[in-house]
């Protein structure tokens, strides 16, 4: 039977980070817990904190389940995570500048050329172009799992448009409102400076042709997008305009925004849509979401796009296996947070091992996300495993496999009371003139008993994440 690290309890005793939550948990009556849970759900619904799940019937704007029991890290634990996350963000950006330039890491034989140049996320339209400050990925979401008191692993990297930061901020706001006494009794590092830090990061990478305070906008696909709430939420907090493609146009080598007072020049675009839809003249010609001619302005230094087109080649799940090598190659350092051991099905030896052990492994599509296109062997039926086996055989290079990690658990409020549930962590690393991240992140929790899938699209919920001050 698999033993999971419980972040709150060491046997029957409460671990130090959770010391002040033990009494709070033990003395909360069931009726008060249910009352507070209903209050949280009502607030989430009124504010509009929802997550649309494509392809589902019923409510297209489903509430994000919010668990009231916070997850806690010591300042020391966070210090190690922060160093490892910043190190990884530096290496990923160095890799992106390199592979769109001289590709020295490929020339040195450290990463196979086919994984880079035949990757569907590699954008030839930006080859030879270096974005302002040499930054391709400005918001890096690093998904981290824990398996023991000091054992952390990077599960995957998100270098394009990682979502969920609004849930990090709203979870903190929610628990402060419902349980203010917890914040009087515990010294918790704040996360509310994130919007200010994000705006500062975006402004710091304004293009060379910007000769004034940069105008920043958030480009959204529109209100049907699953993360639209977050787009509007961040625009409000940063005090910038939320725009759709039709609100922008290109003229005279610059990008302009239509306003009631006439056109206004835009310097930095925080885009929340995929590369393929950014510019119909460069990528998909049928896109109605982007801005015709945007890429020409970008390549001529008239506007900055965050994160840069082409950044997705760095968070491909096959490329992920080489990130420790990137750290060594570009930084001359050893990785502070290791990868999860990973088998590449495109490798014949790895493929044989994976096919022989499917019932014990987690198998993922190289370009998959959101918990889709994956097999969790120990939780799957024989029929599901055999179906997935055929899919892997048909296109081995499209899959990687990892062991089923013993993800840590934290106490979680469930219908029966309080029970351990598996969690992961997504901190948000901001990369501009400097690299920074707020102390905390989005803790996602698998609310189904025994489930290891924490994604919101797969029924997962969110928790507030505490970093205790020294």
Instruction: Please tell me whether residues 53 and 146 are part of one structural domain.
Output: yes
Instruction: Write out 417-468 in H/E/C secondary structure.
Output: EEEEEEEEEECEEEECCCEECCCCCEEEECCCCCCCCCCHHHCCEEEEEEEE
pLDDT for 298-344, tens place per residue?
999 999 999 999 999 999 888 999 999 999 999 999 999 999 999 99
Residue 143 belongs to a domain = yes
Token pair 């009502």 is at which residue?
42
Residue 229 belongs to a domain = yes
Residue finishing a domain among 403, 420, 438:
403
Instruction: Please tell me whether residues 352 and 460 are part of one structural domain.
Output: no
pLDDT band at 369 (very low <50, low <70, confident <90, very high): low
pLDDT at 246 over 60: yes
Instruction: Please tell me whether residues 463 and 388 are part of one structural domain.
Output: no
Cβ atoms of 127 and 154 closer than 8 Å: no
pLDDT band at 225 (very low <50, low <70, confident <90, very high): confident
The pLDDT of 109-122, averaged and rounded, is 94
pLDDT band at 58 (very low <50, low <70, confident <90, very high): very low
Instruction: Please tell me whether residues 350 and 264 are part of one structural domain.
Output: no
Range with the poorest average pLDDT among 140-144, 280-284, 441-445, 459-463? 459-463
Residue 3 belongs to a domain = no
Instruction: Please tell me whether residues 362 and 261 are part of one structural domain.
Output: no
Q: CATH number, domain at 355?
A: 3.30.1490.270
pLDDT for 142-153, tens place per residue?
999 999 999 999
State residue 57's pLDDT score: 46
More confident: 1 or 216: 216
Residue finishing a domain among 362, 384, 403:
403
Instruction: Please tell me whether residues 282 and 392 are part of one structural domain.
Output: no
Residue finishing a domain among 368, 385, 403:
403
Instruction: Please tell me whether residues 327 and 398 are part of one structural domain.
Output: no
> Distance between CA 372 and CA 383 in Å, rounded?
18
Residue 318: name the closest of 157, 82, 97 by CA. Answer: 157
Residue 2 belongs to a domain = no
Range of the domain at 378: 343-403
Please give the tally of structural domains in the chain.
Answer: 2
Residue 4 belongs to a domain = no
Give the 3-state secondary structure of residue 37. Answer: helix
pLDDT at 443 over 70: yes
Provide φ and ψ at 294, rounded to 5°.
-60, -40
- Work out the mean pLDDT of the chain and round it to a whole number: 92
Instruction: Please tell me whether residues 28 and 155 are part of one structural domain.
Output: yes
Residue 88: name the closest of 175, 174, 152 by CA. Answer: 152
Range with the poorest average pLDDT among 105-119, 222-236, 242-256, 449-463? 449-463
């Amino acid at each position: 039977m698999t033993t999971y690290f419980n972040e709150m309890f060491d046997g029957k005793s409460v671990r130090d980070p959770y010391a002040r939550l033990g009494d709070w948990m033990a003395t909360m009556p069931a009726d008060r817990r249910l009352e507070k849970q209903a209050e949280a759900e009502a607030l989430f619904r009124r504010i509009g904190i929802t997550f649309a799940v494509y392809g589902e019937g019923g409510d297209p704007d489903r509430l994000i389940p919010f668990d009231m029991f916070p997850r806690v890290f010591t300042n020391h634990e966070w210090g190690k995570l922060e160093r490892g996350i910043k190190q990884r963000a530096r290496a990923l950006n160095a890799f992106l500048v390199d592979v769109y330039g001289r590709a020295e890491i490929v020339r040195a034989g450290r990463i196979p050329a086919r994984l880079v140049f035949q990757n569907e996320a590699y954008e030839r339209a930006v080859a030879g172009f270096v974005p302002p400050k040499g930054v391709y990925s400005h918001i890096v979401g690093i998904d981290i799992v824990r398996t023991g008191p000091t054992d952390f692993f990077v599960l995957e990297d998100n270098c394009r448009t990682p979502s969920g930061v609004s849930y990090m901020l709203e979870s903190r706001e929610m628990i402060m409102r419902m349980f203010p006494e917890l914040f009087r009794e515990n010294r918790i590092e704040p996360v509310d400076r994130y919007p200010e830090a994000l705006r500062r990061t975006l402004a710091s990478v304004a293009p060379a042709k910007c000769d004034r305070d940069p105008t920043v906008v958030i480009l959204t696909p529109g209100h049907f997008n699953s993360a639209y709430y977050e787009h509007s939420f961040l625009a409000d907090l940063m005090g910038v305009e939320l725009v759709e493609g039709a609100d922008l146009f290109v003229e005279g080598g610059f990008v302009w925004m239509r306003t009631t007072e006439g056109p206004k020049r835009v310097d930095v675009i925080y885009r929340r849509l995929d590369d393929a839809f950014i510019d119909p003249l460069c990528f998909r010609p049928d896109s109605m979401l982007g801005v015709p001619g945007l890429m020409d302005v970008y390549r001529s230094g008239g506007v900055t796009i965050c994160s840069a087109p082409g950044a997705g080649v760095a968070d491909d799940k096959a490329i992920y296996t080489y990130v420790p090598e990137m750290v060594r190659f570009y930084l001359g350092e050893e990785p502070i947070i290791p990868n999860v051991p990973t088998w590449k099905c495109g490798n014949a030896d790895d493929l044989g091992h994976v096919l022989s052990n499917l019932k014990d492994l987690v198998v993922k599509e190289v370009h998959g996300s959101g918990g889709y296109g994956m097999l969790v062997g120990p939780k799957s039926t024989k029929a599901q495993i055999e179906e997935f086996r055929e899919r892997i055989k048909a296109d081995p290079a499209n899959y990687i496999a990892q062991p089923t990690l013993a993800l840590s658990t934290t106490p979680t409020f469930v219908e029966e009371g309080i029970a351990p549930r598996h969690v992961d962590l997504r901190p948000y690393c901001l990369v501009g003139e400097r690299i920074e991240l707020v102390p905390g992140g989005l803790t996602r929790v698998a609310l189904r008993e025994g489930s290891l899938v924490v994604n919101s699209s797969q029924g997962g919920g969110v928790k507030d994440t505490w970093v205790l001050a020294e």
